[in-house]
Amino acid sequence: MVSQKRTRGIFTKKNNQIVDHNKKQKKHIITLALSPGPLYTFLLGQSSMMAYRSRPGLGDLIMAIEKVGIYRKYHGKFPKDKHDKPLPKELWPKKRSFSWSVRWFGSDGKRYSKSFKTRKEAEYYAELKQSDVRSGKPDLPKKITLKYFYDEHKELMERNLAKSTLRLHLEVMSELAKRVGWNCELKRVKSTDIERVRASRLKMGIAPATSNKEFRALKRVFNLAISRGYIGEGCNPCQSIKQIKVAPKKPNYCSPEEFSKIYNQATDTFWKAILATAYTSGLRLQELLNLTWADIDFQDSQVHITRKNEGHWVQQWQPKDCEMRIIPLPEQTINLLTAWQSVAPEECPYVFMEHEHWEFYRNKLSAGTWRSGQSLSNNVLRRFKTLCKRAKVEIYSVHDLRRSCITNWAKSLPVHVVQLLAGHSDIRTTQTYYLSVQEEDIKKAQKVQSKMVGKIPEADLTDPKVTHFRKIRAFPGKDTGCRKP
């Protein structure tokens, strides 16, 4: 058996507990796993865990795990009997108020504790803490303020998240700081604080869908805080809050006839090329603006969506899905791109950059004053809406052209192929937000229904139950003729 002698005293086993005869007090319990052999439980001092070696034949000690304990924590004066003498400790639970305390030792040798009113709450917390101790996380989360986490998140995620996503994370943390203050500890943020922030944002007039987007971002931020060890597992204040129910709306769809009207309002080759490319390739706006001439395969009529490395007038960029994809282009779009290439700015690597902006971009880049993430083309959306107004059609966005292209693909291609061409990592995104049911689809469904019920005879338009000429039910011994009016 493992030796029980130590410099601080000799331990003996009494009533399933190990007692230090020098200190006459119970020590902290740890579990020692011996190989081969069963598990042995001992009590160690508060200084630090000590390494033991078993006696020959029992194997070496391979693991030491601290055990979380639950104790009564008494409050108030010592109880006394009628003779004003202190009562024995066995009678304290009935005569003295107490709470339940969960205690354990951290990796730094310090003892931690947390008090609860009921034993059930203490046992539940001790069970969670025991799993943390076994996984090597015995310490309590550090005291991290919202300001510290904001600055750290901004620094760590600058290259790991899309700029728009990081901006959203920082904005929602700023809104939370208006409620709780920058010096508030992360573990002190409550679910009521999150709900009050959401209520104030809705009062400002933002849409419920936008509120849900901000809520998901804030929930993600606190999940990152958990993974970094700043708050405990299961302590995300957004966990118990549900999103606002928002009825889905029909995706905007620009029909080929409407697109033709918009296209006819374009007077220059640049806008004809960008409209045709957006409507036939389904590219996102940033994918369009970051498209280079090297990405277009004129021979095979294809466009390649790939990440860009910084250099030779090109900015570093990567697509949203972080994957390369190849999209076919029709002959009409290739011809328009060829026509635009013949008059495009010389030495400009980007496809959709006009002469004025190319000079501005090149001068800024040469002077070193170009900001990372700055748009490569100005007022694209505003100018596109102007074309929609002139065409006297619904005011669409450039992203609506992408939705319309994906809907057109879905009429002839399997949905998994549409997903790959659209660059969606989840097929549910394609089905939920991009596929629009058109009038011809509804008419086609009606034809299918008509074929299904084609053999059913037509019903009599007159209900015999409400007329005076219906036949009387036949009963034995009664007349079964028709009634007279």
List pLDDT tens digits, range 148-194.
999 999 999 988 888 889 999 999 999 999 999 999 999 899 999 99
254 three-state secondary structure: coil
Residues facing 98 on adjacent strands: 74
Q: Are 113 and 101 in contact (CB under 8 A)?
A: yes
**pLDDT for the residue numbered 437:** 67
Name the pLDDT band for 8 (thresholds 50, 70, 90): very low
**How much of the chain exceeds pLDDT 90, in percent?**
40
405 three-state secondary structure: helix
Write the DSSP string, 125-188.
HHHHHHHHHHTT--SPPP--BHHHHHHHHHHHTTTTS-HHHHHHHHHHHHHHHHHH-TT-BGGG
Domain boundaries, the chain: 5-80+94-134, 146-227, 256-433
Q: Are 181 and 268 in contact (CB under 8 A)?
A: no
Decide if pLDDT at 219 tops 70. Answer: yes
Name the pLDDT band for 136 (thresholds 50, 70, 90): low
Between CA 223 and CA 230, with CA 224 as vertex, the angle to 5 degrees is: 95
Decide if pLDDT at 22 tops 60. Answer: no
Decide if pLDDT at 202 tops 80. Answer: yes
Which range in 30-44, 114-128, 187-201 is most confidently predicted, on average pLDDT?
A: 187-201
More confident residue, 464 or 351: 351
As a whole number, mean pLDDT of residues 470-482 equals 53
**How much of the chain exceeds pLDDT 70, in percent?**
74
Residues facing 34 on adjacent strands: 61
As a whole number, mean pLDDT of residues 383-412 equals 92
Name the pLDDT band for 73 (thresholds 50, 70, 90): confident
Decide if pLDDT at 333 tops 60. Answer: yes
**pLDDT for the residue numbered 415:** 87
As a whole number, mean pLDDT of residues 220-241 equals 90
Q: Are 9 and 41 in contact (CB under 8 A)?
A: no
Evaluate the omega torsion of the peptide bond into residue 56 and state whether it is cis, within 30 degrees of 0. Answer: no
**pLDDT for the residue numbered 82:** 80
The 10 Å CB-count burial string (b at 16+, else e) for 217-249 is bbbbbbeebbebebbbeeebbbeeeeeeeeeee
Rounded Cα–Cα distance for residues 315 and 311 (Å): 7
**pLDDT for the residue numbered 7:** 34
Rounded Cα–Cα distance for residues 287 and 351 (Å): 11
Extract the tokens encoding 388.
């929609």
Rounded Cα–Cα distance for residues 125 and 130 (Å): 9
**pLDDT for the residue numbered 171:** 95
> Which pTM value belongs to this model?
0.60
Q: Are 252 and 400 in contact (CB under 8 A)?
A: yes
Closest C-alpha to 381, from 396, 402, 361: 396
Top-tier CATH class for 256-433: mainly alpha
Extract the tokens encoding 338.
């060829």
Question: Mean pLDDT of all residues in the chain?
Answer: 78
Decide if pLDDT at 477 tops 90. Answer: no
As a whole number, mean pLDDT of residues 430-454 equals 69
**pLDDT for the residue numbered 331:** 93
Decide if pLDDT at 105 tops 80. Answer: no
Block residue for tokens 């006839």 = 257
Block residue for tokens 């959203």 = 168
| Angle (deg, nearest 10), helices 163-180 and 191-203 | 110
Evaluate the omega torsion of the peptide bond into residue 330 and state whether it is cis, within 30 degrees of 0. Answer: no
Rounded Cα–Cα distance for residues 286 and 403 (Å): 15
As a whole number, mean pLDDT of residues 371-395 equals 89
Decide if pLDDT at 70 tops 80. Answer: yes
**pLDDT for the residue numbered 302:** 93
Block residue for tokens 């338009």 = 461
Name the pLDDT band for 55 (thresholds 50, 70, 90): very low
More confident residue, 379 or 175: 175
As a whole number, mean pLDDT of residues 36-55 equals 35
**pLDDT for the residue numbered 34:** 32
Q: Listing from the earlier edge strand, what are the strands of the sheet with 9-14?
A: 5-6, 9-14, 17-20
- φ/ψ (deg, to 5) at 31: -105, 130
**pLDDT for the residue numbered 323:** 78
**pLDDT for the residue numbered 86:** 84
Residue 352, Cβ neighbours under 10 Å: how many?
23
* AA identity, residue 421: L
Q: Are 31 and 41 in contact (CB under 8 A)?
A: yes
As a whole number, mean pLDDT of residues 456-463 equals 58
List pLDDT tens digits, range 303-332.
999 988 888 899 888 888 777 899 999 999
Sorted by sequence, the CB contacts under 8 Å of residue 134 that are 6+ apart come out as 65
CA–CA distances in Å: residue 29 to residues 84, 88, 340:
36, 25, 78
More confident residue, 7 or 176: 176
Sorted by sequence, the CB contacts under 8 Å of residue 139 that are 6+ apart come out as 106, 107, 108, 112
Decide if pLDDT at 342 tops 80. Answer: yes
As a whole number, mean pLDDT of residues 419-446 equals 76
Rounded Cα–Cα distance for residues 13 and 4 (Å): 10
